[in-house]
């Protein structure tokens, strides 16, 4: 069944609006009486289209779904921004895996610099759309948040305020494997460096904040691959795959 996020469910009724409404009516051409999945407040419901209004599809809620689609760990991905549109692939694939939050980061070696607020807002709008589309495709019950861009210093402040497990894949680490890290936290934070890798002083600062500096194996992974692999391993180790 097709899947739509709705803003509210009131007295057993919901409205599919905006771009989803146009997609529902004009692209999918769903008819009155057809069933759809409705997602509200992190929960999934089975609904039926009652009628089309001028700018919305009115649906009735039949029942709440009994399927569990979200992981029982909350994973945040702090991703140093790569060149070109690689960040969109990173967002898409990690949302599919189950990440809850994505934080774009500018570190010392990050090539991409976004200094103007208008440019950042434009990119965030695009990145949120990528997250939303990936959430729908992968049957998520939430649309993972893409935060405002952080500097390395801002990221460190954010990490220090957390009680979660911090994991940092690093190409110069060879002994401590992620497969050996015990993940017994409900809050996991994965930090991925830029295309040129982290500077040593950045790794030291992460270590001082309690981060686990790990290897993902003997092969050097690209920045757009490392986060996907690390997140997938975390999901596997916590029985969320």
| CATH code of 9's domain | 2.40.240.20
Domain membership of residue 55 as a residue range: 3-64
Six token digits for residue 129: 């759309």
Residue 99: give its domain's CATH number: 3.40.1280.10
Q: How many domains does the chain have?
A: 2
- 24, part of any domain: yes
Question: For residues 230 and 157, what is the distance between their CA atoms, to the nearest angstrom?
Answer: 22
Q: What is the pLDDT of residues 135-153, one digit of tens each?
A: 999 999 999 999 999 999 9
Is-above-0.85 flag for pTM?
Answer: yes
From first to last of the 241 residues of the chain, give the pLDDT tens digit.
899 999 999 999 999 999 999 999 999 999 999 999 999 999 999 999 999 999 999 999 999 998 888 999 999 999 999 988 899 999 999 999 999 999 999 999 888 777 667 788 899 999 999 999 999 999 999 999 999 999 999 999 999 998 899 999 999 999 999 989 999 889 999 999 999 899 999 999 999 999 999 999 999 999 999 999 999 999 999 999 8
Predicted confidence at residue 6, as pLDDT, reads: 96
120, 149 contact by CB (below 8 A): yes
228 plus 120 within the same structural domain: yes
- 133, part of any domain: yes
Predicted confidence at residue 209, as pLDDT, reads: 96
Predicted confidence at residue 111, as pLDDT, reads: 81
CA nearest neighbour of 187 among 169, 202, 204, 167:
167
- 152, part of any domain: yes
187 plus 215 within the same structural domain: yes
The continuous run of DSSP H or E covering 103 comes out as strand 101-106
Predicted confidence at residue 66, as pLDDT, reads: 85
- 34, part of any domain: yes
110 plus 133 within the same structural domain: yes
First to last CA, the chain: 22
Question: For residues 219 and 199, what is the distance between their CA atoms, to the nearest angstrom?
Answer: 19
- Residues with Cβ within 8 Å of 41's Cβ and at least 6 positions away in sequence, in order, are none
Predicted confidence at residue 98, as pLDDT, reads: 97
- 146, part of any domain: yes
**Boundary-marking domain end, from 64, 85, 103:** 64
79 plus 127 within the same structural domain: yes
Predicted confidence at residue 115, as pLDDT, reads: 67
């Amino acid at each position: 069944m097709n899947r739509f996020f709705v803003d509210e469910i009131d007295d057993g009724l919901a409205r599919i609006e905006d771009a989803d409404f146009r997609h529902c009516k004009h692209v999918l051409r769903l008819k009155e009486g057809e069933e759809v999945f409705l997602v509200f407040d992190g929960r999934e419901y089975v609904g039926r289209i009652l009628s089309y209004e001028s700018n919305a599809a009115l649906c009735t809620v039949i029942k709440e779904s009994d399927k569990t689609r979200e992981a029982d760990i909350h994973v945040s991905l702090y991703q140093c921004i790569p060149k070109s549109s690689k960040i969109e692939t990173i967002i898409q694939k990690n949302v599919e895996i189950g990440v809850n939050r994505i934080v774009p980061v500018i570190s010392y070696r990050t090539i991409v610099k976004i200094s103007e607020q208008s440019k950042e807002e434009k990119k965030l709008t695009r990145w949120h759309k990528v997250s939303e589309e990936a959430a729908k495709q992968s049957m998520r019950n939430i649309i993972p948040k893409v935060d405002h861009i952080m500097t390395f210093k801002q990221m460190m402040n954010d990490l220090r305020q957390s009680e979660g497990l911090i994991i940092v894949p690093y190409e110069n680490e060879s002994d401590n494997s992620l497969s050996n890290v015990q993940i017994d936290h409900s809050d996991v934070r994965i930090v991925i460096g830029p295309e040129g890798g982290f500077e040593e002083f950045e790794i030291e600062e992460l270590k001082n904040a309690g981060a686990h500096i790990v290897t993902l194996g003997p092969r050097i992974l690209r920045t757009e691959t490392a986060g996907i692999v690390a997140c997938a391993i975390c999901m596997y180790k916590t029985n969320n795959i």
